[in-house]
Chains A and B, each alone.
Chain A
Amino acid sequence: LAKTTQPISMDSYEGQEVNITCSHNNIATNDYITWYQQFPSQGPRFIIQGYKTKVTNEVASLFIPADRKSSTLSLPRVSLSDTAVYYCLVGDHSNNAGNMLTFGGGTRLMVKP
């Protein structure tokens, strides 16, 4: 399983754009990149997933360079409610990979007023 490395914590202010970068140097060809958000005492929540280039949804954007050895989660105009832990996960997309998510340490984002 590809190992991921993220910053332990980040601070931001309301209204700013936040970019969280995840390193996954040994990502495999079949691996996808998925990001989850977790608030205290709650289960993680799916944010976005991608394989290459750029993916955007109503919540965030995910930028993946051509070599796929890293990815950047971009949160536009954050608010206090975006304060949470953000996890970058890398794993096999194929049916025979089973249903095991491997979580790293995550990035604790603190949004200040």
Chain B
Amino acid sequence: KAGVTQTPRYLIKTRGQQVTLSCSPISGHRSVSWYQQTPGQGLQFLFEYFSETQRNKGNFPGRFSGRQFSNSRSEMNVSTLELGDSALYLCASSLVGVAHTDTQYFGPGTRLTVL
């Protein structure tokens, strides 16, 4: 069974630009969550999508948004990039998305660098 895939793996952007990251969950998984990982703040939850609806949201500004398609694939978008958005963005999928019941499988991440 293929794991969670994320594209692209590496990305370099400049301040003010926008970026779209993609996540393909494990086949059959309906929940997709996004996390940001930085050396200073660690792993932080961004949002979760289930059946094309945002179900949970972390404490991030509105510049961070996402969506989920009918095949459960998800995208996240960051607009007006800032230097502090440089991070590893991780996507996790699970069957139905119950945090401590349903094992979450993480992808390899997208390393975003903002110059």
Contact: A45 with B56, CB < 8 Å? no
Distance between Cα atoms of A1 and B79 in the complex (Å): 30
Contact: B109 with A46, CB < 8 Å? no
Instruction: Name the prevailing secondary structure of the A interface residues.
Output: loop
Contacts of A1-35 to chain B: CB distance below 8 A: 31-32, 34
Q: Does A101 contact B (CB under 8 A)?
A: yes
Contact residues in B for A103 (Cβ distance below 8 Å): 35, 42-44
Instruction: From the candidates A92, A97, A99, name the one contacting B33 in the complex (CB within 8 A).
Output: A99
Contact: B111 with A100, CB < 8 Å? no
Q: Annotate B30-73 by CB proximity to A: 1 below 8 A, 0 otherwise.
A: 01010100000011110010100001101000000000000000
B2 to chain A, nearest CB (A): 15
Known contacts A31-B100, A91-B99, A92-B100: A99-B94 contact under CB 8 Å: yes
- Which positions in A face B, CB cutoff 8 Å? 31-32, 34, 41-46, 49, 87, 89, 91-95, 97-106
In addition to A99-B102, A101-B35, A102-B45, 8 A-B residue pairs with Cβ atoms within 8 Å of each other are A44-B106, A93-B98, A94-B98, A95-B101, A99-B94, A100-B45, A100-B48, A100-B58
